[in-house]
Amino acid sequence: MTVDDVLRGDCLSILPALPENSVDLAFADPPFNIGYEYDVYEDRKSRETYLDWTERWLKQVRRLLKPHASFYVAIGDEYAAELKVRLDALGLTLRNWIVWHYTFGVSCKQKFNRSHAHIFYYVADPSNYTFNAGAVRVPSARQTTYADRRANPSGKLPDDTWVLRPQEDGRFFGPGEDTWYFSRVCGTFKERTGHPCQMPEAVLERIVRASSNPGDLVLDPFAGSGTTLAVAKRLGRRFLGVELSADYTEHIRERLRAIRAEPSAVLLPAVGERGV
């Protein structure tokens, strides 16, 4: 099986050809079916067509997951409930229904502005899965605000709403919050690649660090701007993406060529990090 690359084509054609039980971590940020302008994909399907398509690609990713694997799926409000029902039906176990609260939200005229997305975190086996708690701990309010001597010096595990607080430290998501708070990648950001729906690297870094180990295989069936693959490479993971667009595929490969693994990425995870 080809790894450390992005395969161009329809994921429903490519994923069935991959060996089952081969992926340690999958992250999917599929089209939300709300009218985004992609270059080759039509994001205005009927509800029935979209959900049928969703069910088919979810089943293919499920087939590829190793017994200890994790699966994260990002989705908007419109189809969040339907995705959860389908993920549950695949025999996966929900660990967290994460809310990513972002700045630079979508401006609306006749309803409250949207500033969040849902990220479902599922595992194949709730008694045997990778979760590297030490790799994603953040300072707690006991440390940063109250100078409480009872604080765990290594920090706390993040809550299931992710919030980044740059006034404290640009590397940390904020303590005491239940939302992941991090800006969308806007047009003026240096990180921007030109893709209309680009995920921030900070969000993927937390996912990759927590739910995979160096050398593990990370899959993204909708590679898009290549953020999942870029973060996986930087953190010393193997990676495989699928992308429908020829132009996006070439941009991803250019992005990947510029990335080198961090020196710390070769370190092995701490003993006992699997099977939490």
Question: Cβ distance 188 to 179 under 8 Å?
Answer: no
Q: Which CATH number fits domain 5-266: 1.20.1250.20, 3.50.50.60, 3.40.47.10, 3.40.50.150?
A: 3.40.50.150
The two tokens of residue 23 are 């992926």
Residue with tokens 């029902």: 85
Residue 188 vs residues 104, 125, 196, 198: alpha-carbon distances, Å: 11, 41, 13, 13
Rounded CA-CA distance 157/15 in Å is 33
Domain extents for the chain? 5-266
Rounded CA-CA distance 228/240 in Å is 9
pLDDT of residue 114: 74
pTM of the model: 0.83
Name the stretches of the chain with pLDDT < 50. Answer: 164-189, 191-193, 195-196, 267-273, 275-276
Model confidence over 27-84: pLDDT tens digits? 999 999 987 777 888 889 999 999 999 999 999 999 999 999 999 999 999 999 999 9
pLDDT of residue 152: 79
Pairing of strands 93-106, 114-123: antiparallel
